[in-house]
Chains A and B, each alone.
Chain A
């Protein structure tokens, strides 16, 4: 019940295209859903996060869509750029817990 399932495992997108990464969860106690971006040789860095009281959050080209009833959330990267090529992790945390539960990661490659 603590798992967060992430798909796809890898994604190749043309420059200017839309990248979409999906995550699903079972634990209804989760109330904080961040996305992390990791470049090779670096630690994961927070990209954007959402709480379940809103269905969408946008920051620049990055948007989280949240569907509470389906227990799913997704990351959309608009106008994808080669510099966006990285591994993306979704995560979730329950208010009563202190640790994040991470998805398995998606390796995004944006072709020039």
Chain B
């Protein structure tokens, strides 16, 4: 298995632009998580899905952030409009029920 796949790996954009981050979880994993990592705040859980259904989005910082999981093999995290304080590394992770959580390589986002 290729593991969790994220794209793009790096994204540089200007303030106000829309940013879309993509994730392909490991096949057969029922849970998908989106995290944000910064030096100041560490690893923050933004939202997670179970069987494509959003379960807890309490970590989504504000309405500018949205996430979707249209099918079991694809999820997106969208930021619109983006701001410089959104600069961070965004990780997607997936997990079968009750078992180990596997992280993707991350998307490094820089908003100028």
A residues bordering B, Cβ < 8 Å?
34, 36, 41-46, 49, 89, 98-100, 102-105
Per CB-CB distance, the 6 closest pairs between chain A and chain B, nearest first, are: A43-B103, A102-B43, A104-B42, A44-B103, A46-B100, A43-B106
Chain B, interface SS category: strand
A98 touching B42 by the CB < 8 A rule?
A: no
Contact of B50 with A by CB under 8 A: yes
The answer for the CA separation of A105 and B102 in the assembled complex, in Å, is 17
With a cutoff of 8 Å between Cβ atoms, the chain B residues found around residue A103 in the complex are 42
B residues bordering A, Cβ < 8 Å?
4, 31, 33, 42-43, 45, 48, 50, 55-56, 91, 93, 100-106
Give the nearest-CB partner of A36 in chain B: B103
B43 touching A43 by the CB < 8 A rule?
A: no
The answer for the CA separation of A103 and B48 in the assembled complex, in Å, is 18
With a cutoff of 8 Å between Cβ atoms, the chain B residues found around residue A43 in the complex are 4, 91, 93, 103-106
A44 touching B100 by the CB < 8 A rule?
A: no
A46 touching B101 by the CB < 8 A rule?
A: yes
The answer for the CA separation of A36 and B42 in the assembled complex, in Å, is 13
B50 touching A45 by the CB < 8 A rule?
A: no
- Additional A-B contacts beyond A42-B106, A104-B42 (17; CB < 8 A): A34-B101, A41-B105, A42-B105, A43-B93, A43-B103, A43-B104, A43-B106, A44-B43, A44-B103, A45-B103, A46-B101, A46-B102, A89-B43, A98-B48, A98-B56, A100-B45, A103-B42
Give the nearest-CB partner of A42 in chain B: B105
With a cutoff of 8 Å between Cβ atoms, the chain B residues found around residue A42 in the complex are 105-106
